[in-house]
Amino acid sequence: MDGGLGGTERLTADAGGIARAAEMLRAGRLVAFPTETVYGLGGRADSPEAVAAIYAAKGRPAFNPLIAHVPSREAAEALVALPEAGRRLAGAFWPGPLTLVAPLRTQAGLAEAATAGLATAAVRVPGSAVARALLEAVGAPVAAPSANRSGRLSPTTAEAVLEQLSGRIAAVLDGGPCPVGLESAIVGFDAAGRPVLLRPGGVPAERLAEVCGPLGSEAEGDRPSAPGRLASHYAPGMRLRLNAEAPRPGEGWLGFGPGPEAPVAETLSASGDLAEAAATLYEAMRRLDARMGGRGTAAVARIPRTGLGAAIDDRLRRAAAPRPGDREADE
């Protein structure tokens, strides 16, 4: 699927580039743009054609819903009805790396495919000033899953976007590396309005709970109620062996903190800093995967499951999960 006429333009994140990107999006074309988390693949969330083009460009399953990005809390609440806990979370963490899943308003106007036919919608006000300026200029909600082929590593640079989607989308707005480096945390709500953590992410669960109280959890199924919940996701070509003390002969090594040396190795944070590890996770995996030729196995150091470590662990577990077509997945 070619998301634009001709090749993919690379736009600078200045006033002219933002205006050009907004023009493309308003016309129904696809534009990748930076947020504080990862680069999103943007298309008008109120256009069935643009949403269909997103699914086609990514090769994304149509049952996997998308996040609608908007420039303000007011714009978000025009799309969904937030319960009291959601309003508290929005007040504390928007703009920022938090997505809320709440009942869709009747007149929201989102394309049905953007919500995968669900009665809820996922919405976010990104923390990136470039992203918000773009959304303001578009004047419509923008669906923006990570700008990568479905199931593969999320991009945190424009180069990583172009490696996977060049020629499949109209443009990428280059705003430099994404500072958070992990997708947003996603919180939904049960029938009583109590918060449920659907995906750990850029806001640690401990901070969320400080604002809205204890977070429930939702069992994962074949039909996700929020993005990023497929069992196999965020995967490089190489296989991963998690919670390793050291690499075995022939394995690569993805380190965290002090640890063993290996001939083919990358580190998430030499000092054991979880924020640094989150920001470098996908790029470190991309570099290691390239050095491994997209084959073989890399051992991964144990990551503490506190703060951002829970989100890092979530992404690593999904990256290491059996993939469609694997023998283990059929057993």
Residue, of 5 and 78, whose pLDDT is higher: 78
CB atoms within 10 A of CB 54: 28
* Residue 83 or 233, more confident: 83
Q: What is the mean pLDDT of residues 307-317?
A: 94
User: What is the pTM assigned to this prediction?
Assistant: 0.89
- Identify the pLDDT of residue 271: 96
- What pLDDT is recorded for position 322? 81
What's 114's DSSP letter?
Answer: G
pLDDT average, residue stretch 301-321: 94
pLDDT tens digit sequence for 131-184: 999 999 999 999 999 999 888 899 999 999 999 999 999 999 999 999 999 999
Q: Furthest-apart CA pair in the chain: how many Å?
A: 59
Q: How confident is the model at residue 220 (pLDDT cuts 50, 70, 90)?
A: low
Tell which phi-psi region holds residue 291, choosing left (phi > 0), alpha (psi between -120 and 50) or beta: alpha
The tens digit of pLDDT for each residue in 229-285 reads 555 567 789 999 999 999 999 999 999 999 898 999 999 999 999 999 999 999 999
What is the structure's pLDDT at 324?
A: 57
Q: How would residue 3 be classed by pLDDT, with cut points 50, 70 and 90?
A: very low
Query: Is the confidence at residue 212, as pLDDT, over 50?
Result: yes
Mean pLDDT of 14-34: 98
Q: What is the pLDDT of residue 321?
A: 87
Distance of CA 289 to the CA centre of its chain: 19
Q: Which domains, from first to last, does the chain contain? A: 9-217 (3.90.870.10), 239-330 (3.40.50)
Contact in structure between 18 and 130 (CB atoms under 8 Å): yes
| Confidence check: pLDDT of 329 > 50 | no
- Residue 202 pLDDT more than 90? yes
For residues 314 and 229, what is the distance between their CA atoms, to the nearest angstrom? 10
Evaluate if residue 331 carries a pLDDT over 50. Answer: no
Cβ proximity of 43 and 51 under 8 Å? yes
- Per-residue confidence (pLDDT) for residue 116, from 0 to 100: 87
Coil, strand or helix at 40: strand
Q: How many CB atoms lie within 10 A of CB 84?
A: 11
Tell me, what amino acid is at 244?
A: A
Q: Residue 321 corresponds to which tokens in the numbers above?
A: 């999960």
Residue 51 has pLDDT above 70, yes or no: yes
Per-residue pLDDT at 5: 40
Looking at residues 293-303, what average pLDDT do you find? Answer: 96
% of the chain residues with pLDDT over 70: 90
**Cβ-contact 70, 79 below 8 angstroms:** yes
Whether residue 27 has pLDDT greater than 70: yes
Give the mean pLDDT of the chain.
91
Percentage, residues of the chain above pLDDT 90: 83
Q: Print burial letters for 169-191: b (CB count within 10 Å at least 16), e (below 16).
A: bbbbbbbeebbbbbbbbbbbbee
pLDDT of residue 234: 74
Residues 316, 306: Cα–Cα separation, whole Å: 15
Q: pLDDT value at position 299?
A: 97
